[in-house]
Structure formats: structure tokens, C-alpha cells
Amino acid sequence: MFSTAFFSVLATSIASVFAAVALAGTPKPEALRIAPGYAISTFQKDVDGARSLAYAPGGTLFVGTRGKKVYAIKNGKLEVLAKDLDTPNGIAFKDGDLYVGEPKRILRYEKIEAALAKNPKEMPKPTVVFSGLPEDGGHDWRYMRFGPDGALYVGIGAPCNICNREKDEPRFSTILRFAKLDGSAPEIYARGIRNTVGFDWQPKTGLLFFTDNGRDWLGDDSPDDELNVATKAGEHFGYPYCHAGDVPDPKLTGNRACGEFVPPKAKLGAHVAALGMRFLDASTALIAEHGSWNRSAPSGYRVVKVTLGSGKPVVEPFIENFRTPDGKVLGRPVDLEVLPDGSILLSDDQADAIYRIARMGKK
């Protein structure tokens, strides 16, 4: 059992961290620093808690949240598609239908763009296409996307900071793959993943890359958040036994060596909270770093560019100043989506905004 003194120290530590993270209002795009050759503008404001993004061919952007709402945006008009859901963070679009991931269920809104065009104030009731996802009170906001194989991939986070649930509920700490959305059980595509809230498939190779948030309370600088790549189904990426490829857990090694597991493709820094990611081409990806909450000197609060090649991946800033040098947090980046014209959308769940990023000279 933990002592009263332990909780007192913990509360004081957390309070001091949040005191250092002073919150500010919605940032003006010009307050953010972006890589040379790019410009950033506001695509949509007043999107309360904007997180996961999914773009439909008909021109509608769907936005998930960790509240109760799902939004639809088209031609600058913001509509509330649903307002009474349970943490609808996960969203994905396929063949005219919108899929929404709650902690325990996957819902489908059929022919959603046609329904929005007919009457955006009266949405059809969703169909429950799967129920019974594992949920135990931690990291239960889903992230999901359809892969190039047509299957739906869903991240299932660990229900804790550090614990071993592989025996009693092996679906925790995984990415599930639904080959069919007819109620049949999914396969475990990848395991040993603490909490992935972003993944994408590399052009040309078709390999699944995903971010993972490292465990807490091993110090300011350990372990790193990760960018991983799954080269085949069934691989194990270390959690809870080993973190960032080379940090054995001090309590839950389970007599397992780090060498047994797939190491990360790139280390992203400790506690940066790496979330959404998108490939721009086969050798370039962007990753949104939501920002730390329990580090004495906050980290993250930016978007990074990862360049992949024959050598070690290169990680460098792409958008900075979501947290200013004087400690004001202007925003917290979450997810990315690439539009048909090549521009990039970025959600921000603190500023309740979505930004558009484009190369200079392109409108």
C-alpha cells in the first residue's frame, strides 16, 4: 500500500508541473514557428477538443474527440454529427461510411456524406459493428484507420501506466486488425504496445508505422517515446518488459530480455507524447507531439519531421512554439491528415482548432 506521504509528494509534483504549464488562448498561426518553405493558417476554429481526423473523398473532414462529440466540416461549415457518444476519439472513413471508435464499441454511420447533404441536423442512428473491446479505465480512447488491405486497424492501449495483462486479456497493449466488420473477432496484429494514438502505412512498402507513448515515472529522460514499424503480423514491441528497445522495466521484466523484442525505428524523446503521424512520401513522415505532463522541464509541444533512409532516421522540428519559452502553452498538436491537394491538416485539442499547412506559394 502507498503511504499518505507518498500521495502528498505525488500531488505536489504534479501540481508543480502543471504550474509550469501555463495555458493560453487559441494561438494565432503566426505565433507558431514552421519549417522554411511552409505556411500555416487556421482551417477551422471552435472545434471543441479536436483530435482524430478523417477526410472523405466528397470533401468532408470528420473530427473525433475525447468528449462526446464528433464533428463534420465542409466548405468552412462546422456541424455536430453526434453529441452523446462515449469518448469518440477514433474515426475512420471507408466506402461512404464513417466508423467511430468508443472504448468498448465500433459504430458505423452509413452513407454519411449523403445524410449530411440532406439534413445535417438529423443524422442516422449508427450501427454497432463490434462490441466488447477491452476497457479498464486507462488509455481507452481508440485510434483507428483503414489499411491499404481494406482492414480496420484499432489501437488498444494498456489500462495502466505499467502492468502485465497478457494472460487475462491479451488484447490490451495491441493493435487489432478487423479483416471484416461483421461482428467477427479481430486478430492481434501487433503486441507489446503501451499506447499508440497514431499510425500510417509507408508508401511503396506498405509497412505499418506507429507511434507509442513510453511509460511514466522512470525519470525525466527515460524512456523515449517510439516510432515503430511492423514488418509482419504477430511481432512484439516490448511493453511491459522493455521500453524504447533497451530499457528493462525495473519491476516487470518477467525474465525477458530486451533483445527478444522488436526495437523502435526511431526514438523520439522522453514523455513527448507522440500521437498522430502521416507519411508525406516514402522517406518523410510528420509526428504530432502532444507534450509532456509530468516532466520537470516540459518536452514535446511540437510537430517533428522524421526522415527515413538507409541509415539512422533523422528527427527534426517541423512546427514549434506550441509552448513558448516563457512557459505558455498555446496549443497541443494531436493528429494529421493529408488532403488531395498535398496540404496537411493538424488538430489541436487545447486550442480547439485545426490548422492547414501548405508549401509557400500554394493556396
Residue 362's pLDDT band (cuts 50, 70, 90): low
Which pLDDT belongs to residue 27? 72
Residue 15's pLDDT band (cuts 50, 70, 90): very low
Q: Are 325 and 311 in contact (CB under 8 A)?
A: no
Q: Are 271 and 264 in contact (CB under 8 A)?
A: no
Question: Per residue in 299-349, pLDDT tens?
Answer: 999 999 999 999 999 999 999 999 999 999 999 999 999 999 999 999 999
% of the chain surpassing 70 pLDDT:
92
Architecture of domain 33-359: 6 Propeller (2.120)
Rounded Cα–Cα distance for residues 224 and 214 (Å): 6
Average pLDDT over residues 76-103: 98
Which pLDDT belongs to residue 3? 39
Chain CA centroid to CA 136, Å: 19
Question: Per residue in 117-137, pLDDT tens?
Answer: 999 999 999 999 999 999 998
What does pLDDT average to over the chain?
A: 92
The DSSP H or E segment spanning 230 is strand 224-230
Distance (Å) of CA 116 to CA 62, 76, 98:
11, 14, 12
Which pLDDT belongs to residue 285? 99
Average pLDDT over residues 170-182: 97
Cell representation of residue 63: 473530427
Question: Per residue in 220-278, pLDDT tens?
Answer: 999 999 999 999 999 999 999 999 999 999 999 888 999 999 999 999 999 999 999 99
Residue 206's pLDDT band (cuts 50, 70, 90): very high
Kindly list the domain boundaries of the chain, sorted by start residue: 33-359
Tell me: pLDDT of 22 over 50.
Answer: no
